[in-house]
Homo-oligomer: A and B are copies of this chain.
Amino acid sequence: MKLITAVIKPHKWEDVREALETFGVTGMTVSEVSGYGRQKGHTEVYRGAEYDIALVPKIRIEIVVDDSDAADVVDIVVKTAQTGRIGDGKVWVAPVDSVVRVRTGERDEAAL
């Protein structure tokens, strides 16, 4: 099993979801996060006080997949989330020992 974590631009989320669905990913866990990196945030000014907003909104997707699918899923995310502009995000793959489906207690492949 692998855990694929993708941090992408919010407005790309819909496309990514569709692409993964087509590929056959049946589930994922999504959260709203803030990104810090080359893409600079905004400057906001409130009553003359200037704030340098270092963080930009991102969507973080976690997908647990079979080792065999990992490479494809990563490629799909990278392809669909890409705009070519700074701040497109990152995708990383990490090992997972096991996964369980709470409803049934099924494990690993069966749990996905």
Interface residues of A (CB under 8 A from B): 1-3, 5-8, 17, 26-38, 54-55, 58, 60, 62, 64, 74, 77-78, 81-103, 105, 111
Q: A29 contacts which of B36, B81, B83 (Cβ < 8 Å)? A: B36
Number of copies: 3
Q: List 25 A-B contacts (CB under 8 A).
A: A2-B97, A3-B94, A26-B37, A26-B38, A27-B38, A27-B90, A28-B36, A28-B37, A29-B58, A30-B34, A30-B36, A31-B31, A77-B102, A78-B100, A82-B102, A82-B103, A82-B105, A85-B103, A88-B103, A90-B102, A90-B111, A91-B100, A92-B96, A93-B98, A94-B96
